[in-house]
Each structure stands twice: as structure tokens, then as C-alpha cells.
Amino acid sequence: MVLPVWVAGAAKSAMQALRGSPFAPSQSLDVLDGRGPREVPVISAEVVNDGEQAFAIAYCQSGAALDLTKGLEIWTFVQWIDLQDKGSNLSNEFINDWLRIVPGKGVGTYREGGEACLSAFAKELLIVNLRSLVPQGYGLRLEIVFPRGRELAAYTSNAAFGVVNGLALIGTQAEVQDSASPNQLQETIKRLGEKISKTDYEGKLIFVIGENGLQLASAMGLNADWILKVGNWLGPLLVAAAEAETKELLLFGYHGKLIKLAGGVFHTHHHLADARLEILTTLAVKEELPFSLISMISVSESIEEAFQCLKDKNPDYARQLWKRLAFEVEQKSLEYLGRYGSWSIKIGSALFDRQRNLRWVGPNGIKQLSSFGVDWEDF
């Protein structure tokens, strides 16, 4: 189950302790899937601060072997808020009229505003499972802590979407959709088939990488009928799209994922393949950048750092390398398809950075974005 489910389980356990109920090693939760309650194990719960607060601890067990949050320790702290107290801080941290979420250590917050990053599913999950435990006339202050959240967030693309300080509580359903598993590939191929089987299918597709990519694509106004959210199995999906006689395919995603395609890596999960700096260094060699800059790129801590340092030293070289990256994503994707057949498909690329700016667009990508109704100003 996804991280928000385990947070809700720990929060409910802490609330039971605050109400004076004996500790139970699991909490029964409605996970909003219509299949009845689910039991969520909790490690401990206890009252503190002379009974004014309670806390509980749980460990996220997603069930997905490669899920970053598997085994993550979760702390939740709860206390009542007297809604009749005029001195109560009814801040924008309330997600409705009674529940206040406080992002503790390791919980991702939006760079602008500082509120906790929760998906609509996570919010509804908390509301549904906690509301009945709150005494009349009171609200609930819920502080969430992930002791290792900030450390683990460095391995995510959270910062690309303005989320800082830790892990976001996102997801649209209770069960983990493991983007690295073969089952997820088959599910995506099934959804691809459903899209192309429609009578009004125009031969256009947009592969967006992950939930965050989907949100950004929608915000940009890209046609939802053409959008397919994909995971890490990009190679087989390219072949499936070509076999379905797709004419225009745009790869839309975070550069930390799509750069791997420029190196010929078509399964992009970081547990299975992570050669981003090596790929960027190779592209710099192909562009015949000065050796000092190539050396700087090769020893950078991340591709974000490499691009920023290059831009600071020589914006023209940075722009040159950005364009080469987007071009290589398109070319390597076509070369990959060439191993399995011959199709008249055009593949474009559109990559965005950690600040959610669309920055790297290939030659085909520029044409496709224009035909898809999105203005693109090449810089």
C-alpha cells in the first residue's frame, strides 16, 4: 500500500491513544477502494506531554521491491484543537474546517507557501478515517515526521515540481503501482491499446513520465486524449506505439529520466540503471566542448549541478549541450525501434528541469508541441 495509507494508520493509532484507548497493533482503515476496510500494522502509540499529545510509529511496507519508501519509518503526533478558542491558529495549514496538517522533519513541502505536499487522495484518506474520532467542537493538529525523508527525497524528482525538504504524500489509490515491475508494463500496454482502439484516434500520442509529469502536461494544456502516463518501461512501450501505427509520439518528462534514453538505456528506474553523468559527459565530448568543461561535468554531483555550472561558465556551451541532449533522446529512440522493425513514426522529446521549466526540446519535439497547440519559444 502507498505511503499515505501508512501515515493514516499511524495517525489513527495516535488518536486512539489520545482518546485513552488501549494500544492495538493494527488499525482498520477505509482505503477508498470500495472493497471494505484494510488492516494497517502499527508499531507503537503513546500519550505524552501530560496527556495533551500522543504519538504513534509505523513502518511503510509498500510490497513493491523497488519502492523508495519501503521500510520508511513514520512518526505521527496528534493533539486536539479547541475550535471555540479565538486564539487558535486557523491557518492555511487546515485542509478543511477541522484538520490541520503540520509537515514535520522529512515531509515534503511546496517551495512557495511551505504547506505539506499531499495529493487529493491522501487528504481524503485522512479525512475519512480520522473525522469520527475527533470530539465535537474540536479540531485535530496532525504533525507527520519521516526521519529519513529528506535523505530519500534526494533520489526523487520532487524538486522538479517545487517540493522541498522531504518526501511528498502522493498517489491516487491505495495500492502501489510499481513502475519497474513487468505487471505495470502490461497494464500500461493495455491502456495504450484502449487509447488507439478509439474510432477518433488521430495517430498522436504523448508519453508522460509519472504522476508529476502528468500534472505538468495537463497544466500546459496538452490534449488529454493523447496523453498516456507511463512508468520506466519505455523501450517496449515505444515498440507497442509504433506497432499500433502511431504517427507522432512525444516523450514528455523530467530530464533526470529521459537523459537515460540519450545513452541507449530504455528502462529508466534508478535501481536498474543510473548512468546520467556518464551520458552527459559523453554528449559533451560529442559536442567537442573544451576539456576543462568536460572534466567539470564528469565530477559533478548531479546533472543539475553540471548544467548550472556549465551555464555559469559559458551559456552558449550550455545551450549547445541542452539541444544535443534533446536531439539524442529522439535519435536513440528511433534507433531502438530500428532493432525491431521499420515504422513511419516521428518521435519528439520535451524535457523539463527541477524548476518545472520546459527547457530541452528536440527538433521533432518543437514541431509536435506546436501541432499539439502549445507555444514553444526556443532559447
pLDDT for position 86 = 53
Kindly report the length of the chain: 379
pLDDT digits (tens, 9 = 90+) for 47-62: 999 889 999 999 998 6
- What confidence tier does 379 reach under pLDDT thresholds 50, 70, 90? very low
Q: In terms of Cα–Cα distance, which of 219, 307, 286, 204 is closest to 250?
A: 204
Confidence band, pLDDT 50/70/90 cuts, at residue 214: confident
Report whether pLDDT(180) > 60: no
Helix axes 276-286, 315-338, angle to 10 degrees: 110
pLDDT given for residue 376 in this prediction: 63
Average pLDDT in the 20-36 region?
91
In the chain, where the domains are located: 3-167, 182-371
What gap in Å lies between CA 101 and CA 168, rounded to an integer? Answer: 13
What mean pLDDT is reported for the chain?
86
Q: Which CATH superfamily is domain 3-167 in?
A: CbiD-like (3.30.2110.10)
Assign 362 to helix, strand or coil.
coil
**H or E element at residue 350:** strand 346-352
Measured distance CA(264)–CA(267) in Å, rounded = 9
Residue 291 has pLDDT above 90, yes or no: yes
Confidence of residue 179 (pLDDT cuts 50, 70, 90): very low
Assign 4 to helix, strand or coil: helix
Give the Cβ contact number of residue 153 at 10 Å.
Answer: 22
DSSP state of 159: G
Q: Copy the grid coordinates of residue 148.
A: 529519513
Residue 266 Cα distances to 74, 251, 269, 294, 343, angstroms: 34, 12, 9, 25, 18
Label residue 345 left, alpha or beta by phi (over 0 means left) and psi (-120 to 50 means alpha): beta
For 240-290, the pLDDT digits (tens) are 999 988 999 999 988 888 889 898 888 766 555 578 899 999 999 999 999
Widest CA span in the chain: 72
286: left (phi over 0), alpha (psi -120 to 50) or beta: alpha
Q: What is the mean pLDDT of residues 38-47?
A: 95
CA distance 188 to 207: 11
pLDDT number for residue 73: 96
Residue carrying C-alpha cell 513511419: 344
Nearest partner of 78 among 60, 94, 101, judged by Cα: 101
